[in-house]
Amino acid sequence: MTKSYFLTFLLIGSLLFSNFSFGQLSTEEYEKLDQSLGQTSFFGGHLTGFMLYDLDSQQVLYEKNSQIHFTPASTTKLFTLFASILVLNDSTQTFRYVSKGDTLQIWGAGDPSWDYLDLPQPDFDSFFAPYDVIAFSDSNLRSTPFGAGWQWDDYLYYFSAERSSLPIHGNLLKVLPGKSNPRVLPTRFQSMVSTTNRDIRDMERDFHSNQFYYNPKSYRGREDYLPLLTSPELFVSLASDASGKTWIYSPDSLPENHQLWRGAALFPILKEMMLESDNFLAEQLMFMVSDRLFGEIDTERAIEYMTESFLTDLPDEPIWVDGSGLSRYNLFTPRTMVGLFEKLYRVVPDQMLFELLPTGGISGTIENEYKAETPYIFAKTGTMSNNHSLVGLIRGKSGRYFAFAFMNSNYPWKASLVRREMEKVLSSLRDML
């Protein structure tokens, strides 16, 4: 190329660039967004990744650090949602069973519904009615009560309930409100409540046993939930109390000739998991996915299957460990989160998807944020110490929807401050789109 041709090429290129439109963003808007996420902005003080994607044109409109892995926290539940919709369809896996005369033997399949929240209940009474004895086996359970990479000191908190093949009461103890002589449910645990002189404001559980303590001088008396230390022996006792039937623990292997009971609707579980970011439901959903795929409960195996069968085309291989996002071993990039969300967007009907996504100023974990006369953020949050992410849809002033992932790690501030600064960026972006 001669020098004159080269200069002409540069001139044409500069003219083209001056009129270049970054998808829906003008050059000025692109630069404004870039500055709001740049080194001199609030987000320059920690690691931030962002991607904005046009679902119609299938073009990336903006990205910053979209190739870097972040701790996703509860945005991991989008992966669990994807697996659940593809594998479970419309109903739960409740248990597998065989019957022998007046005895029913069951193997739990992961259904979390039994006396948990206001979820629709499987009709256990009718199913168990013909039998005098119910034998329970957990021989099909491969996963542990806690997931890999969970924090051990979360054992005190409701959001870290143990996993099991057939939970009851959400594997939780309910502490009823009241300042004196606190009462608990199930009532069989009342005798295991004692006082302590330790400086605690709420009831706490012993690390190694289902013994519970409160300090009468500092006890707040609020309603609370505490994870139970699960075991098959405890489960059959609780199930006996709940059903009025005789339950025994009989860890026999699951025979080849057995039947499956799918006892409850799936959608209410998905909705509760997504709107309230319920970790217990997310973990049990992956249990059910595994049971549907393999006839045994193994979250690691189910994740491996989903990754190799449906997620090989994501921009970066997801490091996906659990169903809830409690594990710090999970690592996803913003562009992988957008890729996964686009799959959900293509697979899930619009009305269903919007019911499942928390809506800014309206519902779920962003009910008190992203408020606007016309809702514009529909997204899943993910928060743990020093990490906060938001993944989902943003509706522009044009009325069009765009997928985005906004991920933050290693910040030294409160998450509330990060959320406020994110809201400034996203509300400004809404006005551009």
Assess whether 151 and 109 both reside in one domain. Answer: yes
Q: Which amino acid is at 410?
A: N
64 and 89 in a single domain? The answer is no
Strand order in the sheet with 246-249: 246-249, 133-137, 103-108, 95-100, 259-261
Query: In a 10 Å sphere around its CB, with 0-12 CB exposed, 13-18 middle and 19+ buried, how is residue 11 labelled?
Result: exposed
| pLDDT for the residue 181 | 86
Q: At which of 267, 286, 305 does a domain end? A: 286
- Residues constituting the chain: 433
Task: Name the E strands within 6-149.
Answer: 47-54, 59-64, 95-100, 103-108, 133-137
Within this chain, do residues 62 and 111 fall inside the same structural domain, yes or no? no
Amino acid 179: pLDDT: 85
Tell me, what's the pLDDT at 180? 83
CATH number at residue 393: 3.40.710.10
Residues 173 and 207 in one domain: yes
Residue 263 falls within a domain, yes or no? yes
Q: Is residue 2 assigned to a domain?
A: no
Please report, in tens digits, the pLDDT of each residue of the chain (433 residues total).
443 433 333 333 333 333 333 457 889 999 999 999 999 999 999 999 999 999 999 999 999 999 999 999 999 999 999 999 999 999 999 999 999 999 999 999 999 999 999 999 999 999 999 999 999 999 999 999 999 999 999 999 999 999 999 999 999 999 999 988 899 999 999 999 999 999 999 999 999 999 999 999 999 999 999 999 999 999 999 999 999 999 999 999 999 999 999 999 999 999 999 999 999 999 999 999 999 999 999 999 999 999 999 999 999 999 999 999 999 999 999 999 999 999 999 999 999 999 999 999 999 999 999 999 999 999 999 999 999 999 999 999 999 999 999 999 999 999 999 999 999 999 999 999 9
Tell me if 178 is assigned to some domain: yes
257 lies in the same domain as 375: no
Residues 239 and 92 placed together within one structural domain of the fold: yes
Instruction: Tell whether 34 and 132 lie within a shared domain.
Output: no
Residues 197, 271: one domain?
yes
Q: Residue 359: inside a domain, yes or no?
A: yes
Which residue(s) pair with 82 in the sheet? none
Res 23: pLDDT: 56
Residue 72, pLDDT score = 98
Give me the domain span that covers residue 266.
85-286
> In total, how many domains does the chain have?
2
Q: Tell me, yes or no, whether 226 and 282 share the same domain.
A: yes
User: Do 123 and 157 lie in a common domain?
Assistant: yes
Please compute, for residue 305, the number of CA atoms within 13 A of its CA located in the half-sphere on the CB side: 18
At which of 286, 321, 340 does a domain end?
A: 286
Query: Token pair 């119910």 is at which residue?
Result: 134
Are 220 and 176 part of one and the same domain? yes
Residue 15: the pLDDT is 33
Q: Does some domain include residue 243?
A: yes
**40 shares its domain with 136:** no
d(C-alpha 213, C-alpha 203), whole Å: 5
Q: Collapse the DSSP code of 404 into the 3-class scheme (helix H, G, I; strand E, B; otherwise coil) and give the result.
A: strand
In-domain check, residue 324: no
